[in-house]
């Protein structure tokens, strides 16, 4: 089980959350199950004007983590708030209604980025609709924090991560046609819970203003 670290962490996992009381347990369980392999990891949950018991579910899970609040509505501002306090050499911005598919996911990721000194690593994720072919979702990238410190997420949604990742990957020297060729772990480590009821993407495709 991961614990809060006394030294600067190798990785900061940033999780924006909005009314995920019914959906966050699989992510919490998958984080608690991680074998960190001696790496130091901090987990930051950013409460984004939750009106349900999401915070209570996180606290009762027993997961060692930091919990902060962001009053500006939206995943972009919430992720920015997490980045502002993150101390990890690398950052991974994931969604609270998804989950990790391996109890060594974090260790595998850090083994690779540390060994090769990567600035960006693309994480294979699973979902029957998107699989690997949608390159701009931020949750599929682990990035060196100093490498992305000049960039901020915009204050709109959905697709706020499209704009952010476009800036980051252009800095890395990749065109839209070659993003898929970033160094990658081959086995899927992350499940993208696409279009769950109540999510931004679900509401967007129903025509709601979000």
Dist. CA 35–CA 2, nearest whole Å:
7
Percentage of the residues of the chain whose pLDDT score is greater than 70: 79
Q: Extract the tokens encoding 34.
A: 């991680």
Torsion-angle region of 131 (φ positive above 0: left; ψ -120 to 50: alpha; else: beta) = left
| Tens-place pLDDT, residues 157-171 | 767 899 999 999 888
- Euclidean distance between the first and the last CA atom of the chain, given in angstroms as a whole number: 36
User: What CATH number is attached to the domain comprising 155?
Assistant: 3.90.550.10
**For the chain, how big is the Rg over CA atoms in Å?**
16
- Are the C-beta atoms of residues 80 and 153 closer than 8 Å to each other? yes
Report yes or no on 29 lying in a domain.
Answer: yes
Report yes or no on 92 lying in a domain.
Answer: yes
Tokens 């495709």, located at residue: 205
Report yes or no on 129 lying in a domain.
Answer: yes
pLDDT score recorded for residue 116: 86
Q: Extract the tokens encoding 157.
A: 């949604």
Dist. CA 119–CA 210, nearest whole Å:
32
Dist. CA 109–CA 189, nearest whole Å:
9
Q: How many domains does the chain have?
A: 1
- Give mean pLDDT, residues 47-60: 97
Report yes or no on 3 lying in a domain.
Answer: no
Report yes or no on 4 lying in a domain.
Answer: no
pLDDT score recorded for residue 200: 53
pLDDT score recorded for residue 208: 47
Average pLDDT of every residue of the chain: 85
- Are the C-beta atoms of residues 147 and 141 closer than 8 Å to each other? no
Q: Extract the tokens encoding 149.
A: 């410190």
Range of the domain at 150: 11-205
- Give mean pLDDT, residues 29-42: 97
Nearest to 80 by CA among 9, 131, 156: 156
| Tens-place pLDDT, residues 73-112 | 999 999 999 999 999 999 999 999 999 999 999 999 999 9
pLDDT category at 16 given cuts 50, 70, 90 is very high
pLDDT score recorded for residue 159: 79
Q: Extract the tokens encoding 101.
A: 């598919």
Report yes or no on 118 lying in a domain.
Answer: yes
Report yes or no on 210 lying in a domain.
Answer: no
When comparing pLDDT for 210 and 32, which is higher?
32
Report yes or no on 148 lying in a domain.
Answer: yes
CA distances for 106 relative to 71, 150, 188, angstroms? 29, 25, 12
- Give mean pLDDT, residues 144-150: 96
């Amino acid at each position: 089980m991961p614990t809060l670290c006394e030294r600067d962490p190798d990785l900061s996992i940033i999780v924006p959350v909005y009314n995920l009381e019914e959906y966050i347990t699989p992510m919490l369980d998958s984080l608690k199950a991680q074998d960190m392999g001696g790496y130091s990891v901090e987990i930051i949950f950013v409460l984004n004007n939750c009106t349900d018991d999401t915070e209570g579910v996180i606290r009762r899970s027993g997961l060692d983590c930091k919990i902060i609040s962001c009053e500006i509505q939206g995943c972009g501002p919430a992720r920015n708030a997490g980045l502002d306090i993150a101390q990890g050499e690398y950052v991974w911005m994931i969604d609270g209604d998804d989950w990790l598919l391996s109890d060594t996911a974090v260790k595998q990721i850090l083994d690779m980025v540390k060994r090769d000194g990567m600035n960006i690593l693309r994480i294979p994720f699973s979902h029957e609709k998107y699989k690997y072919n949608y390159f701009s979702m931020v949750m599929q990238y682990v990035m060196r924090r100093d490498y992305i410190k000049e960039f901020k997420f915009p204050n709109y949604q959905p697709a706020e991560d499209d704009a952010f990742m476009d800036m980051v990957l252009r800095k890395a020297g990749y065109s839209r046609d070659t993003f898929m060729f970033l160094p990658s772990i081959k086995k899927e480590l992350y499940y993208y819970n696409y279009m769950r009821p109540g999510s931004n993407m679900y509401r967007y495709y129903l025509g709601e203003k979000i």
